[in-house]
Every structure is written in structure tokens, then in C-alpha cells.
Amino acid sequence: MSSVVVSAQSVGKCYTIGHRSGDRAPTLRDALVRTAGRIIRASSDIAQGRAVVSGDEREDFWALKDVSFEIQAGDIVGLVGRNGAGKSTLLKILSRITDPSCGRIEIVGRVASLLEVGTGFHQELTGRENIFLNGAIMGMSSAEVRGKLDEIVDFAGIDRFLETPVKRYSNGMYVRLAFAVAAHLEPDILIVDEVLAVGDAGFRRKGLAKIQEASRAGRTVILVSHDMAVTTALCKSAIWLDGGLLRQIGPAAEVTRGYMMEATSPHGQFMSRLQGDGGRSFRILDVQIMDAAGDVRRMFSCDEGISVVIHYFVRRSVPHLRGGMEILREDDVLVMVSDSMDREHGTLSALKEGHGTIRIRIPERTLSPGDYRVSLNFSRADGLPDEDVDCQGHVAVFSLHDHLTSRGNARGGFFSLRLEWTSECEA
């Protein structure tokens, strides 16, 4: 008997989008004619059961095209890709929120989805009522939900607010309850789209542990995360979407490595994931890996010194700003850590308003040959909340090679330091 619980066969999703003409109507007559035409087209769309599309011109946009894969029971599968790659569209199809335009999806078992904060909750109902509502939607009896109630409330940490309408919950409370409900009502397939990133560090650890527990119990998890370390550590396999097309499917370590290597430009330049700066006082604009001559590259010799160059923007001075950098191998093993506090007076409080750069130099013969990822984290050294600071994560990749390797003397370990060897002959 096959253990395949999700099967996608040549799945595509097409949306019709509208465009406005670039020129404005020069006269009142032209404007009235154009408006009348739009009303006629909208009436025709409604009469024929089509979505009403604004604009003078129409275009078919394929958010997904010819995507095929299979997922086995008990697997944790990562879904990776840039913004706009089609991840959310695929998850909505798997969650039965929208239908594919073509192809076929077969799903075996009950599905619980966490696509965004608040999905599946009724704003006017209390936390308790929403728990029972979600259980009923999943086909569970009141007795079954009641048996899980205490465990859900304890996991979410909302016992004091159980009888409060969820519209008064903070984002953190919302996420904790939504995840607790989805995970503890034991769906056959759990779909999680980046919602754990909204929670604090403690809840994030609990959530990831719960995902592993669900997999051990034979339940399937589809996980979207921009943190490739989490994807590699948790997932057995991964699916990489690129521009609506299936780019790669296979072991998570291989897929995330390919994705991270292409997350930069051909020269290794970081491409920001942020959508607007949210008014942050300190924001990272760009990260580049440079050689001693200032050229941006991705491949280096171990005999070269390289620099991690951070381009930033300061809107308002941040007291006690502190920066940290981690370098990880392709298998997510932490190799080295650097901190702006390594030097005397190491906070970055002196950064002036406007644009600037921070340069971190890694001397030659420091790291062994291999592929590496750079992870950055900025915070306040005084321990106060740092919501006003842009904390990143994995931001750049680079590779090192050693000329000794080509002669058969490959170096293992983390470092490629050339140590001094001396000898003395005794008389």
C-alpha cells in the first residue's frame, strides 16, 4: 500500500490581471467612454461567472505552472523560494482555499493550515470558542476537542485570556493559539507558512519540537521558512519554486544549498528579502563579499583575505547598537563567530544618520576550503527590545578553494592556518 499522502500532477494556477493604459484621458468625453467600457466589461464578467478585473488591458499571469511532486506520510518537507515564487499559491491549493487552473491534487487525510496570522479564527469569538470551532471544521467531536483543551491552552500560554475575544489578542498570542490548535488537534497534514517567525524564541523552540513530534507520530508537515538552517535541520526533503516553476526537489540539504547559492547575484551580492523598512532606525540594505581589491566575488582562494561589507541606512541613531556575524558551513555547522564587541568600545552607537558601510575582514588562511554562509544579527547591547533594528539571518554565501587540494593534500577541519614547524637536531 502506497504511503503517498500528497500528490501534485502538472498543477498550474493562472490569474487574470488588469493594466491601466499609460496615458490619461485628455477630455471628459474620453473619460466617460472609457468608464462606460469598463462597466460593460465588468457586467459581462459577472454574467459569465468570471472574476471582475480592473484596467483597460488584461493579462494571464501563471503563479504556478506544471508543478508535480509527491509527499510521503510522516515526512517534513520544506518549501523554499523567493517572494513571488508561488509558495503561497501552492499552499492555498493544498489547503483547498483555491482550486488549481489545471492539473490534479490528491490529498489523503485531514489538513490543518497556518498560512498567516489569524487564518481560521473568528474575531468575535473567544479563544475557547475558536478552539472548538476549529475542531468542528476538522471533523472532531466536542468530546475529542475537550480532551485536548488543557494541552492546547498550556502550550499557547493563554490561560488568562481563554474567555477573551481573539480580536483583542496580540500578534504573539494569536500565533501561539493558532499553532497550538493546529498541532494538537492532530491533523494528518500540517501546513505551516512562516508563522513561527512571529513568535518569541521560547515559543519558536516549542513549535519546532512539536513539528518533530508530529512527524514521529506519522503525520506530515509542509513547512515554509526563510531560515535555511531550520529547513535543513528539520526537513527530510525540500521543494524549490522559482517563478512559479518547480526548480528542484530532493534532500533538504542539497536543495537549500542550491537556493542559497542563487539567493545572491552571480557575483555574490546579497539581495534583500525585506519589503519596505517598516520605519526601522537601522536597516541593512545590502551585503557583499569582496576581495582585497574591492571586487565583489563568490569564489576565493584560501590564500586571499576577504571582507564582508554591510551597506546600511540609519534613520535615527540607535543607542548601544551591537552587531554579530556567524559563518556556517554548507551542512549548517557553526564554524566561527565575530562580534562588534570584540574590540574596545565595540558598540556601533556612533553610526551617523544616513548611509554607510561596515567592513568585517577575514584574514587569508583562516578557513578551510568549502562552501560557507554568512549570518548577521544586530541588537542592542543594553538588552532593551530591538524591534527598531533590522535583524537579518543568512544573507550571503561564498566558497573557498585551496591550491594544495589539487595536489592531493586536502585539508579537513575548520581552519587552514599555516602553522610554523621547527626542528632541532640533537648532537
**Beta strand extents in 128-265 (DSSP E only):** 189-193, 220-224, 237-242, 245-251
CATH number for position 301 = 2.70.50.60
Whether 294 maps to a domain, the answer reads yes
Query: Which of 2-11, 110-119, 159-168, 295-304 has the least mean pLDDT?
Result: 110-119
Is 406 a residue whose pLDDT tops 60? no
pLDDT digits (tens, 9 = 90+) for 255-295: 887 787 675 544 444 444 443 445 678 888 888 899 998 88
Whether 99 maps to a domain, the answer reads yes
Q: Is residue 71 located within the same domain as residue 39?
A: no
Q: Is residue 24 located within the same domain as residue 109?
A: no
Is 419 a residue whose pLDDT tops 60? yes
Give the pairing of strands 321-329 and 282-290: unpaired
Is 1 a residue whose pLDDT tops 50? no
Domain count, the chain: 3
CATH number for position 210 = 3.40.50.300
State the pLDDT at residue 267: 42
Q: Is residue 102 located within the same domain as residue 196?
A: yes
State the pLDDT at residue 44: 65
Is 237 a residue whose pLDDT tops 80? yes
State the pLDDT at residue 110: 85
Whether 275 maps to a domain, the answer reads no
Q: Is residue 112 located within the same domain as residue 182?
A: yes
Q: Is residue 116 located within the same domain as residue 232?
A: yes
Give the pairing of strands 393-401 and 299-301: parallel
Q: Is residue 221 located within the same domain as residue 91?
A: yes
Alpha-carbon distance of 161 to 382, in angstroms, equals 32
Q: Is residue 190 located within the same domain as residue 209?
A: yes
State the pLDDT at residue 427: 67
**Local structure of 174: helix, strand or coil:** helix
Share of the chain above pLDDT 90, in %: 20
Arithmetic mean of pLDDT, 170-189: 82
Whether 7 maps to a domain, the answer reads no
Mean of per-residue pLDDT scores for the chain: 79
Give the pairing of strands 282-290 and 189-193: unpaired
Look at 149 and 199; give whichever has higher pLDDT. Answer: 149
pLDDT digits (tens, 9 = 90+) for 191-201: 888 766 555 66
Whether 86 maps to a domain, the answer reads yes
Alpha helix segments (H runs only) across 48-108: 87-94
**Contact status, residue 358 vs residue 318, Cβ threshold 8 Å:** no
**Complete DSSP assignment for 345-357:** T---TTPPSEEEE
Arithmetic mean of pLDDT, 23-28: 57
Residue 363: pLDDT band (50, 70, 90) is very high
Whether 1 maps to a domain, the answer reads no
Q: Is residue 22 located within the same domain as residue 112?
A: no
Q: In which residue are the cell numbers 481563554 written? A: 162
Is 89 a residue whose pLDDT tops 70? yes
Q: Is residue 84 located within the same domain as residue 50?
A: no
State the pLDDT at residue 275: 39
Arithmetic mean of pLDDT, 401-427: 72
Cell triple for residue 339? Answer: 562580534
Q: Is residue 37 located within the same domain as residue 69?
A: no
Query: Which of 67-81, 104-118, 244-258 has the least mean pLDDT?
Result: 104-118
Whether 341 maps to a domain, the answer reads yes
Widest distance between CA atoms in the chain: 110
Q: Is residue 202 located within the same domain as residue 337?
A: no
Domain that holds residue 207: 64-262
Arithmetic mean of pLDDT, 93-99: 88
Q: What is the pTM of this model?
A: 0.59
Q: Is residue 46 located within the same domain as residue 194?
A: no
Alpha-carbon distance of 92 to 101, in angstroms, equals 13
Is 99 a residue whose pLDDT tops 70? yes
Is 92 a residue whose pLDDT tops 70? yes
Whether 331 maps to a domain, the answer reads yes
Residue 42: pLDDT band (50, 70, 90) is low
